[in-house]
């Protein structure tokens, strides 16, 4: 049964997915590179679909959304590995990684499976 914590985690992942979806419109083509922005946008769209399914309590969809959001967060890691990346891009990359970890944790902690009734 979905809990408030579970749904809060889905909202956090959804905000991150929406930001990814808009990233091709916000990039200058260099930071992040357009290829990364397009990959992130595709992951964002797929994530939103899975989040909608997970909202109804489907565990497989929630796990899929978590995996996609963590993959998307991994695309932000190169911002910390290469010289010449603007500070604002590093800050946004850090926020993206934090949102993925926080949202994923909330979803996993907040999901409760129904307990089978014990008859005496």
pLDDT at 115: 63
State yes or no: cis peptide before 32, omega within 30 of 0: yes
pLDDT, average across residues 67-83: 90
What's the CA gap between 92 and 37, in Å, rounded? 13
Q: Residue 82: which domain range?
A: 4-110
Q: How many domains does the chain have?
A: 1
**pLDDT of 120:** 59
SS (H, E, C) the chain: CECHHHHHHHHHHHHHHHHHHHHHHHCCEECCEHHHHHHHHHHHHHHHHHHHHHHCCCHHHHHHHHHHHHHHHHCCHHHHCCCCCCHHHHHHHHHHHHHHHHHHHHHHHHECCCCCCCCC
Tokens (6 digits) for 71: 């993959």
Q: Does 62 map to a domain?
A: yes
Confidence of residue 57 (pLDDT cuts 50, 70, 90): confident
pTM of the model: 0.84
119 inside domain: no
Asked whether residue 59 is assigned to any structural domain, the reply reads yes
């Amino acid at each position: 049964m979905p809990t408030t914590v579970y749904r809060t985690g889905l909202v956090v992942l959804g905000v991150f997915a929406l930001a990814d979806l808009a990233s091709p419109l916000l990039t200058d083509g260099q930071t992040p590179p357009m290829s990364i922005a397009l990959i992130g946008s595709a992951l964002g769209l797929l994530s939103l679909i899975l989040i909608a399914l997970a909202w109804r309590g489907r565990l497989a969809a929630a796990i899929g959304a978590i995996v996609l959001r963590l993959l998307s967060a991994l695309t932000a890691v190169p911002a910390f590995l290469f010289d010449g990346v603007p500070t604002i891009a590093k800050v946004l990359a850090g926020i993206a990684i934090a949102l993925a970890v926080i949202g994923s944790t909330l979803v996993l902690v907040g999901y409760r499976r129904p307990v089978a009734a014990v008859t005496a």
